[in-house]
Every structure is written in structure tokens, then in C-alpha cells.
Amino acid sequence: LVIYDLPGRDCAALASNGELGPDDLDKYKSEYIDPITSILSDSKYAGLRIATVIEPDSLPNLVTNAGGTDTTTDACVTMKSNGNYEKGVCYALDKLGAIPNVYNYIDAGHHGWLGWDSNLGPSVQEFYKVATTNGANVSDVAGFIVNTANYSPIKEPNFTVTDTVNGQTIRQSKWVDWNQYVDEQSYALALRDKLVAAGFDSGLGMLIDTSRNGWGGSARPTGPGPQTSVDAYVNGGRIDRRIHSGNWCNQSGAGLGQRPTAAPATGIDAYLWVKPPGESDGNSAAVPNDEGKGFDRMCDPTYQGNARNGNNPSGALPDAPLSGHWFSAQFQELMQNAYPPLS
């Protein structure tokens, strides 16, 4: 179950604004978390193991987009100032964590968002703070999830972050941009180690959303790029074909990823499909609607970008409907570019 209705939801984007205003914390508690808690506490579900994904993007936004950076938004500043993201997540962890058969997984962004040391350290601090205040406890946290509704691959098969070309680290390539990680599994496992060191349980598990990170099809590289420069090597070999790893909306060329799998690696509880394939990330043009959803230019295929994607083109597919609505053209492309391929 994806728990996704915080006050002032999605403060760094416009495509998936929620129903609650920035100050509607009491309503979030009484009209959202409490009813869910009541339902999941029913004895008829006691034999069902229920995993919850806690509030995608919320805590990472407080770390990177709530002040002091060129990616800051007024909405994220507001949510950091009023504390309602933190209080809401604490409340959800506390209430849902009290149910013996419910397992909470906090959203931890993805490597292309938090993978730099300057972001990862503060993120670990933020996660621990939220898990230990306002009634929440680390025992309420089964683990963390990465790549929720995103496109980053589990593993880049043709290079690692420690590779060099002509004596130069590939971290200085434009694609990697000094990130400490190049894919989700390396990021997830490193994050896990840091979280355990910060005070989380040693049995902490990680989840990876693989619904749209397959990157198969004819454009998938079959080996490393040429060793003429770090950029040629990385760009020629990377299976993630996005223009920039900060691009998140209806990405062109993406494919269905690894099928849901339990315990695929040590420290990884599961690969799973959190974002339903074929569900739009956001509308590619302004669309009048009664759902409170705005128009985020990152969903516009003609948009040339902002600080959060290095001022690169958005890479979004055209003619997309509102977020959460069925996007047939995207689904067809996801099937065509599935990796492993569909049989």
C-alpha cells in the first residue's frame, strides 16, 4: 500500500498535488491515517503481511528543495517551516507500525537525487530524526524504498562508479556528475549501511521499484562505450537512456523492469512494482481538471529544463494525460522496451 496524501503533498512539483493544504495535518491524521489504521487492524487481515510505502518524495524534498539551493521551492520551504511533512510521517509510522503484520518502508528517493554525499548524509539524519520523534520509533521501520515511480536501473551492467578512462574517474562525466552511485542497487545497499550505522535496526531491508527501469529494446547498449573519454565511455555504455537522471516524467524509451521478486539480494527485501506501468506521471500540457493537479513543465516534451535536471530537455513523452490517468502510448512503449523482455 502506498501512503501518499501528506499536507502540501509533492512540494517540488505540480503534477501530483494532493487534496490537503499545507496546514491540514489534523485532517491527514483523522481522515486518512486513522481510517487506514482501523482497516488494517481488523482481525480478518491478521494473517496478511502488509508492506506500506510511506509518503514518496516527502522527506527527500525537505533535504534538497527546502532552502539554500537553486532547486528550492516556496512550497517546500513552507513544509519544512511548518513541520507537517515530518509530523505526518511520524504519525503514520507510529500508528501503522503498531499493527503487528504491517511493515513500513520509508521513501528514500533515488541515486540520481540523493546519491551525492552532500545530500545523502543530511538525508540519513532526516530519516533518523523522523523515525525517533513524535511517537515514532525505529522499530516502526521495516526498511526503506528507492526509485519509487522513477526510472533508474537496478544495475548499470557496463560500468561501475570506480571505473577510470585515461586516468580520469568516470564520476567527472556529465552523466554521473560526481555522484557516488550509478544505479539503484549500489545506492540502496550503501544507504542501508549508513542507516544502520545511524541507529536503525541491523535487519533493515530495502525495496527497489522496478516497474519502469528495464531500458530494453533496440537502444539498449550491449557493452561498454569507447574509452576515448569519460563521457564517451559512460554514454556509450549506460542502459539508462534518459537525457538526465533528474528527469522523472513519462520518460521516452523506458521499459518494464525486473518482475517483482522477493529477496533478490542480501539486504534487498524485494524488487516490486510500486508505480503501475501505464499510469501517467503528469500531463504534457495544461489540462483543466477538478483534481487539483497543476501543469509541471517537466512533463512537457518541449521544456528545456531547470536546476533540478541540469537545465536539460525533459525527455517526456507527448500527449500525456493527468497524473494517475491511463496513458496507453506509454504502456505500449514500456512493453516494447521491457527488460527482461516479455515472453
Residue-wise pLDDT for 174-214, tens only, equals 999 999 999 999 999 999 999 999 999 999 999 999 999 99
pLDDT at 15: 84
Calculate mean pLDDT across residues 302-315. Answer: 96
- Binding residues for substrate, as ranges, are 110, 113, 150, 248, 275, 279
Which residues sit opposite 104 in a β-bridge?
52, 141
Q: Would you say residue 88 has pLDDT above 90?
A: yes
pTM exceeding 0.85? yes
Catalytic residue check, 281: yes
Task: Give me the catalytic one of 5, 10, 24, 183.
Answer: 10
Q: Which of 94, 140, 209, 281 is catalytic?
A: 281
pLDDT band at 164 (very low <50, low <70, confident <90, very high): very high
**What are the phi and psi torsion angles at 251 (to 5°)?**
-70, 130
From the list 299, 330, 114, the residue with the least C-alpha distance to 212 is 330
Asked whether the CA dihedral 310, 184, 65, 327 is positive or negative, the reply is positive
Q: How confident is the model at residue 259 (pLDDT cuts 50, 70, 90)?
A: very high
pLDDT of residue 42: 98
Q: Is 290 a catalytic residue?
A: no
Any catalytic annotation for residue 183? no
Tell me the sheet residues that pair with 316: 251
Percent of the chain whose predicted confidence (pLDDT) is above 70: 100
How far, in Å, CA of 201 to CA of 185, rounded? 19
Domains, the chain, in order of start with CATH, read 2-336 (3.20.20.40)
What pLDDT shows up at residue 251?
Answer: 99
Mean pLDDT of 29-41: 99
Q: How far is CA 83 from CA 79, 259, 293, in A?
A: 6, 37, 23
- pLDDT tens, position by position, 218-255: 999 999 999 999 999 999 999 999 999 999 999 999 99
pLDDT at 221: 98
**Hey, what's the cell of 9?**
503533498
